[in-house]
């Protein structure tokens, strides 16, 4: 069993946490996104599904500021995000938490150090890290190194790292793609519980219907739009 840390974000309102305006992105003469617009409400947990190559990961990278759109604009809590400037880096550091399919933990750092990274970068108290590790069920393993962990445990570390600095928006790109069914289910519930407990918003990109089912809302993506899934689609 793992516990959930409760915290609230002061001044949270129902204004959109994320706004996409007319986004366009082309890779090597291939138009991936074109005129895509959408608003995500604060506190929402949204799953995005769609065919392979439709641009789901690209969209997530643009939202995270890891790549810049060729056209259009992204606003997080009203602040404009651009991949190229230092302000975007600050914004990303403060507001976003990212969970990857491939875990991405630093192999030369202990679990505690890995989870402490966002705290250090945001100059927040480090004592949140052990509590967060405990919250994901890894209490007592603080000084272990990543190579001592299983895939599921590594993803727990990634979840702890994504949440430890209490970001407003969690972005998760196929977070269970490398995990077996049971572990995947466990991780998804962990993510959902933590997000809901902390009042954060989340966007999860996935091919897995089971994973998408854990979200409040499912959006189907094509090049131009994000459309709520119909009830048939949901079933």
Partner 1 sequence: MTPPLLTRWLLLGEWRSHRLQSVVAVLAITLGVALGFTIHLINTAAVSEFSAATRSLSGKSDLTVRATRYTFDELLYPRLARYAGVAQASPILEITAGVPAKAKTMHNPVFKILGMDGFRAITMTPDLLGVPAEGKPMDTLADDAIFLSPAAMEWLSVKQGDTIEVSTGAKRVQLRVAGGLARAHPGQRIGVMDIGAAQWRFDQPGQLSRIELKLQPGIDPAAFRAALGEALGPSYLLTESEDDDARIHTMSRAYRINLNILALVALFTGAFLIFSGQVLSTIRRRSQLALLRVLGMSRRQILRQLLLESALLGVLGSLLGLGLGYLLAAAALHFLGADLGAGFFPGVAPRLHLDPLAAVLYFLLGTGITILGGLVPAWEAARTHPAPALKSGSEYTMLTALRVPRLAAVCLLMGLVFTALPPVNDLPIFGYLAIVLLLIGSIAALPYLCGLFFAMLSRLSNPDQTGALVTLATTRLSNASGLAAIALGGVLVSFSLMVAMAIMVASFRISLDDWLGQVLPADVYLHSTIHQDIRGFTLEEQQAMASRNGVARVDFIRSVPVTLDLAKPAITLLARPVALDNPGLILPLTGAALPSGDIPPGTIPIWISEAMVDLYGFRTGDRITLPFADSTQIFIVVGIWRDYGRIFGAMQMQLSDYRRLTGDDHASDAALWLHPGTAFDTVATALKALPFGETLEIMETGRVRAAALRQFDRSFAVTYLLELVAIGVGLMGVAASFSAQTLTRIREFGMLRHIGLSKRQIYRMLTLEGSLLGGFGILAGFLLGTGISLILVFIVNPQSFHWTMQLHLPWTWLGVMALAVLAAAALTAFLASRRAVSGDVIRAVREDW
For partner 1, the binding residue among 32, 34, 50, 100 (CB under 8 A) is 100
Interaction of residue 45 with partner 1, rule CB under 8 A = no
CA gap 153, 73 in Å, rounded: 36
3-class SS of residue 162: helix
Q: What is the DSSP letter of 54?
A: S
Q: Which of residues 146-165 bind partner 1 (CB under 8 A)?
A: 151, 154, 161
Q: Among 129, 204, 206, 193, which Cα is nearest to 169's? A: 204
| Residue 34 Cβ vs partner 1, minimum distance, rounded to whole Å | 19
Kindly tell me which of 37 and 178 has the beta carbon lying closer to partner 1: 178
Q: Is the dihedral of CA 184, 188, 189, 191 positive or negative?
A: positive
Inter-residue contact 218 to 228 (CB < 8 Å): yes
| Residue 93 Cβ vs partner 1, minimum distance, rounded to whole Å | 3
Interaction of residue 113 with partner 1, rule CB under 8 A = yes
Using the rule CB under 8 A, give the single segment among 17-25, 91-99, 188-196, 198-206 that binds partner 1: 91-99
The number of CA neighbours under 13 Å toward the Cβ of 34 is: 8
CA gap 233, 112 in Å, rounded: 41
- Write the CA distances from 181 to 31, 74, 136, 209, integer angstroms: 34, 34, 18, 12
Inter-residue contact 42 to 70 (CB < 8 Å): no
| Residue 47 Cβ vs partner 1, minimum distance, rounded to whole Å | 21
Q: What is the DSSP letter of 37?
A: E
Size of the site for partner 1 (CB under 8 A): 31
Kindly tell me which of 45 and 98 has the beta carbon lying closer to partner 1: 98
For partner 1, the binding residue among 117, 131, 134, 197 (CB under 8 A) is 117
| Residue 53 Cβ vs partner 1, minimum distance, rounded to whole Å | 14
Per DSSP, what are the bridge partners of residue 189? Answer: none
Q: Among 83, 17, 31, 30, which Cα is nearest to 224's? A: 31
Interaction of residue 108 with partner 1, rule CB under 8 A = yes
x/- map, 47-86, partner 1, by CB under 8 A: --------------x--x-xx---------------x--x
Interaction of residue 120 with partner 1, rule CB under 8 A = yes
Under the rule (CB under 8 A), what is the footprint of partner 1?
Answer: 61, 64, 66-67, 83, 86, 89-90, 92-94, 98, 100, 102-104, 106-109, 113, 117-118, 120-123, 151, 154, 161, 178
């Amino acid at each position: 069993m793992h516990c959930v840390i409760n915290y609230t974000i002061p001044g949270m309102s129902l204004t959109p946490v994320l706004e996409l305006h007319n986004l366009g992105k082309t890779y090597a003469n291939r138009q991936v996104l074109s005129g895509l617009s959408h608003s995500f409400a604060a506190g929402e947990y949204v799953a995005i599904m769609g065919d392979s190559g439709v641009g789901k990961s690209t969209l997530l990278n643009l939202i995270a500021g890891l790549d810049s759109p060729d056209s259009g604009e992204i606003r997080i809590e009203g602040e404009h995000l651009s991949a190229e400037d230092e302000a975007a880096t600050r914004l990303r550091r403060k507001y976003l938490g990212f969970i990857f399919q491939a875990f991405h933990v630093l192999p030369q750092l202990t679990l505690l150090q890995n989870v402490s990274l966002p705290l250090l970068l945001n100059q927040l108290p480090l004592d949140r890290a052990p509590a967060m590790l405990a919250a994901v069920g890894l209490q007592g393993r603080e000084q272990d190194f990543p190579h001592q962990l299983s895939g599921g445990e590594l993803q727990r570390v990634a979840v702890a790292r994504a949440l430890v600095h209490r970001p407003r928006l969690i972005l998760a790109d196929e977070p269970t793609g490398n995990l077996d069914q049971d572990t995947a289910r466990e991780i998804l519930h962990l993510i959902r519980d933590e997000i809901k407990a902390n009042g954060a918003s989340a966007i999860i990109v996935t091919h897995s219907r089971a994973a998408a089912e854990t979200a409040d809302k499912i959006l189907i993506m094509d090049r131009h739009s994000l459309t709520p899934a119909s009830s048939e689609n949901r079933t």
